[in-house]
Amino acid sequence: MNYSAKEIASFLHGTIEGNPDVVVNKVSKIEEAEEGSISFLSNPAYTPYIYKTNASIVLVNNDFNPEDGLKTTIIKVDNAYNSLARLLELYQKSKPEKKGISSLAFVSASVKTGENTYVGEFAYIGENCTIGKNVMIHSHCYIADNVTIGDNCILNSGVKIYSHSEIGNSCIIHSGAIIGADGFGFSPQTDNHYKKIAQIGNVILHDNVEVGANTTIDRATLGSTVIKKGVKLDNLIQIAHNVQIGENTVIAAQSGIAGSSKVGDNCMIGGQVGISGHLCIGNNVKIAAQSGIGSNIADNEVIMGSPAFDLVKYRKAYVHFRNFEKLIKRIEELENKIKSLSKE
């Protein structure tokens, strides 16, 4: 679809500088943009590109003042990145949506579906499930018995949801994600074997949760594994049994949280972070990538390392670590001098 600068500025409540009638029909990165595309500038590191970009329109922050001539039309907005997100959402909604239940899908007779439900080819929905309005269940999804899915959810191809899981409204689950697999519960026996402990709990996803591709969220042994409102999980994350993740927490790829740990609200957890079991991570905590967490973390901490500790202290300690060989050599030299002085 084609949109003029005037239409886009009206939608975003922005101010145009340049040709208000220029038209765009695609979105591009500022350094790769072609004529007929719209781009954005929010990171100052990319400022040089705005003077040579081929984009027809560029979204910029209100405080941007060009230091040279521009050949592109700019639209000034409060936040260029957020405005781009709104445009992308508008673009996504403009795409034609699939509707109806495919004749090649299996939907149990006891399933309750809301209005405008889409079920793709070779999807399976088990007994006594409840599916909300405007839900899209793409091909090859598997939904076991007694699952509840709220309104406006999207399950991409290949999602697997085990029995008794509860999915809130406006959740997005990406391909290959598994919700509700058994927790890793085994009891060691005297003969060095392990006896499986039945995992009879479930998984609950609150509203507006997004789960990345190939991420796994295990069902609770007893009770529920709970992912609260607004949580965003990247790809390839492992959430173990009985974990609780607080509202609006974001976790990057390849991180793992062991059983029964609790993560607070508004936390930011980098990639490849490991959190041991039965821990409590406070609210507003930031954990740098590849950190190992083996103890409770208080509210508002910013930590790094393995084992992780305060970020500022870590950076100071790491300077000494890099100079460790030199420090050892100095100590040896001082010891030799002390020995010489002792002999004298």
b/e code 115-139 from CB counts within 10 Å (16+ = b): eebbbbeebbbbeebebbebbbbbe
User: For the chain, what are the domain ranges?
Assistant: 3-94, 100-313, 316-343
Instruction: Write down the pLDDT at residue 299.
Output: 98
> Distance between CA 213 and CA 156 in Å, rounded?
9
Q: Average pLDDT of 15-31?
A: 94
Tokens of 237: 């994350």
Instruction: Write down the pLDDT at residue 83.
Output: 95
CB 154 within 8 A of CB 134: no
Residues serving a catalytic function are 241
Q: Which of 77-91, 199-213, 261-275 has the lowest mean pLDDT?
A: 77-91
Q: How far is CA 313 from CA 165, 237, 305, 319, 322, in A?
A: 42, 28, 10, 10, 14
Q: Average pLDDT of 295-320?
A: 89
Q: What angle do CA 58, 63, 64 make, to 5 degrees?
A: 40
> Distance between CA 110 and CA 259 in Å, rounded?
34
> What count of Cα atoms within 13 Å lies in the side-chain half-sphere of residue 307?
6
Angle, helices 5-12/80-94, rounded to nearest 10 degrees: 110
Question: Would you say domain 3-94 falls under CATH 3.30.2020.30?
Answer: no
pLDDT tens for each residue of 125-171: 999 999 999 999 999 999 999 999 999 999 999 999 999 999 999 99
pLDDT surpassing 80 at residue 47: yes
pTM, two decimals, is 0.84
89-94 LR contacts (CB < 8 Å, sep 24+): 90/11, 91/1, 91/27, 94/1
> Distance between CA 323 and CA 48 in Å, rounded?
38
Q: Average pLDDT of 280-303?
A: 97
Specify the DSSP class assigned to residue 322. H
Which residue type occupies 212? G
Instruction: Write down the pLDDT at residue 94.
Output: 73
> What count of Cα atoms within 13 Å lies in the side-chain half-sphere of residue 30?
23
> Distance between CA 13 and CA 225 in Å, rounded?
42
pLDDT confidence bin for 64, thresholds 50/70/90: very high
Question: 100-313: which CATH topology?
Answer: UDP N-Acetylglucosamine Acyltransferase; domain 1 (2.160.10)
pLDDT confidence bin for 337, thresholds 50/70/90: confident
Please give the mean pLDDT across all residues of the chain. Answer: 94
